[in-house]
Amino acid sequence: MKLGWVEIVLILAVVLLLFGGKKIPELMKGLGKGIRDFKDASKGDDPANKEVPSEEK
């Protein structure tokens, strides 16, 4: 069961109708952040555990 170009265009049209043109960049930004967080968590790279270098005076 593979997706052809017609099905992909239909899915994109439905997404555009549901969310509108202005919301799609926000959704993609959130999706990218979620994927990045998932990859970091699966590698064990937790930004909360990283040491913050102290400023020298």
Query: Which pLDDT belongs to residue 3?
Result: 82
pTM above 0.85, yes or no: no
Query: Which pLDDT belongs to residue 15?
Result: 86
- pLDDT digit string (tens) for the chain, length 57 residues: 788 999 999 998 898 888 888 888 888 899 899 999 999 888 876 556 555 566 665
Query: Which pLDDT belongs to residue 34?
Result: 93
Q: Answer yes or no: are the C-beta atoms of 24 and 15 closer than 8 Å.
A: yes
